[in-house]
Amino acid sequence: MMKYNLCGRSGVRIPALSLGLWHNFGSVDSYDTARDMLLAAFDAGICHFDLANNYGPEPGSAEENFGRILRTDLAAHRDEMFISTKAGHAMWPGVYGDGSSRKSLMASCDQSLRRMGLEYVDVFYSHRYDGVTPIEETMQALVDIVRSGKALYAGISKYPAQLQRQCYEYLHAQGVPCLLSQYPANMFKRGAIAEGPESNLSVAAENGSGFICFSPLAQGLLTTKYFNGIPADSRAARATGYLQERQVTPERVEAARQLRVIAAARGQTLPQMALAWLLHDKRVTSVIIGTSSVAQLKDNLHALEGLEFSEVELQCIDSILSVEGLAM
């Protein structure tokens, strides 16, 4: 059964597992498979769908396909869904198609709504700090998007901790608090969820923002996919992509093998344990899963059946992950 968590100090709940459309929902992918996955997710209680303007490929095509499925299959269920999108990475040609300026965010929000056929999204994120735009400009754009009714809530993604605090302070002062903060986090990438008051998770919790993790399986490294080399159809085999062949190191593969032993003793697969490990921290609101099939989606859902860890299990996991060279 799906579990729903409150987003920080708000009254809105989202599922512990959310469906991300970063991969496998673009114009180069099977539309029928994408439709089947999205409908299966909704039927399983996943009502939060995470998008961005540039998801595809081609950029924008994930939003277009999502909008098509929404119109043909889920139009009557809009008020049962929580839909988020983002802007900040390169999207369209020209100087305004990239970055976190007011000009870019305002245009991108309108484009995303048109692609999805929506009047509003539930959350609109600033996808990143671009290193140039003043925080005040970007945050005011989010405030105005919310006040215009084009989004119900504001969110931020991947901001460094110090800037993260500034974002919260600005949004709070404007009466539009940050609902969700989104960061990459998994067993091999623990910086955002590290112990201590300066981790992104701690800063979010301190300021009343919900926290949502993406890339929970390290782009497949926390599965059995790379146990016997790099498959030709895998992400690491592609010339371009988030996971590079050089990141599939013997040390990470060996760590994944050892983690699978712990998972098996818990009655879980390695991916299920990796998801549960993130969710065992009660400050984590949701984990975004990206799937390539309905079977994979259903397998991930079983993670919710085992969210508790013993101290011995956590110590064993920490010992495996403490090996030098594993961090991504």
Q: What is the CATH number of the domain that holds 106?
A: 3.20.20.100
**Mean per-residue pLDDT of the chain:** 95
Q: Which amino acid is located at 318 in the chain?
A: D
Number of H helices, E strands in the chain: 10, 10
- The pLDDT confidence band at residue 239, using thresholds 50, 70 and 90, is low
In a domain, 140, yes or no: yes
- The pLDDT confidence band at residue 215, using thresholds 50, 70 and 90, is very high
Q: How far is Cα 33 from Cα 39, in angstroms, rounded to an integer? A: 10
N- to C-terminal Cα separation, the chain: 32
Indicate the angle between helix axes 61-69 and 31-43, nearest 10 degrees. 60
* Partners of residue 154 on adjacent β-strands: 124, 178
Q: How far is Cα 244 from Cα 246, in angstroms, rounded to an integer? A: 5
Predicted confidence at residue 226, as pLDDT, reads 79
- Length of the chain counted residue by residue: 328
CA distances to 53, 57, 174, 236, 301 from 240, in Å: 19, 12, 40, 9, 29
Q: Percent of the chain scored above 70 by pLDDT?
A: 95
Q: Of 145-154, 244-253, 313-322, where does mean pLDDT reach its minimum?
A: 244-253
Which range marks the domain in which residue 26 is found? 12-184
- The pLDDT confidence band at residue 327, using thresholds 50, 70 and 90, is confident
Instruction: Provide the domain count of the chain.
Output: 1
Mean pLDDT computed over 309-326: 95
Predicted confidence at residue 227, as pLDDT, reads 81
In a domain, 293, yes or no: no
Alpha helices in the chain (DSSP H): 31-43, 61-69, 102-116, 135-147, 161-173, 200-206, 250-265, 270-279, 294-301, 311-321
CA distances to 39, 116, 135, 201 from 164, in Å: 34, 29, 9, 10
- The pLDDT confidence band at residue 238, using thresholds 50, 70 and 90, is low
In a domain, 229, yes or no: no
Predicted confidence at residue 13, as pLDDT, reads 98
Query: Is the pLDDT assigned to residue 250 strictly greater than 90?
Result: no
Place of tokens 């940050």: 178
In a domain, 89, yes or no: yes
Q: Of 188, 167, 205, 182, which Cα lies nearest the Cα of 270? A: 188
Q: Percent of the chain scored above 90 by pLDDT?
A: 89
Predicted confidence at residue 242, as pLDDT, reads 67
- pTM for this model (two decimals): 0.95
Predicted confidence at residue 232, as pLDDT, reads 58
Place of tokens 């979010």: 204
Q: How far is Cα 89 from Cα 189, in angstroms, rounded to an integer? A: 21
Q: How far is Cα 107 from Cα 47, in angstroms, rounded to an integer? A: 26
Structural tokens at position 43: 């039927």
pLDDT digits (tens, 9 = 90+) for 196-211: 999 999 999 999 999 9
The answer to whether residues 226 and 297 touch, using CB atoms and an 8 Å cutoff, is no
Mean pLDDT computed over 278-284: 97
Place of tokens 């003043």: 134
Predicted confidence at residue 236, as pLDDT, reads 55
Predicted confidence at residue 328, as pLDDT, reads 85
Structural tokens at position 290: 């990206």
Query: Is the pLDDT assigned to residue 247 strictly greater than 90?
Result: no
Predicted confidence at residue 107, as pLDDT, reads 98
Predicted confidence at residue 198, as pLDDT, reads 94
In a domain, 147, yes or no: yes
pLDDT digits (tens, 9 = 90+) for 44-59: 999 999 999 999 999 9
Q: Of 228, 209, 204, 226, which Cα lies nearest the Cα of 217? A: 226
Task: Enumerate residues 6+ apart whose C-beta is below 8 A from 164.
Answer: 156, 181, 200, 203, 204
Mean pLDDT computed over 136-144: 98
Predicted confidence at residue 248, as pLDDT, reads 80
Predicted confidence at residue 228, as pLDDT, reads 74
In a domain, 77, yes or no: yes
In a domain, 192, yes or no: no
Place of tokens 């040390």: 251
Mean pLDDT computed over 258-286: 97
Mean pLDDT computed over 256-268: 97
Rg (CA), the chain: 19
The answer to whether residues 29 and 20 touch, using CB atoms and an 8 Å cutoff, is no
Q: Of 16-30, 117-131, 241-255, 299-313, where does mean pLDDT reach its minimum?
A: 241-255
In a domain, 281, yes or no: no
pLDDT digits (tens, 9 = 90+) for 168-202: 999 999 999 999 999 999 999 999 999 999 999 99
Buried b or exposed e, range 36-52, using 16+ CB within 10 angstroms = ebbebbbebebbbbbbb
Dihedral angle of Cα 91, 95, 98, 101, to the nearest 10 degrees: -130
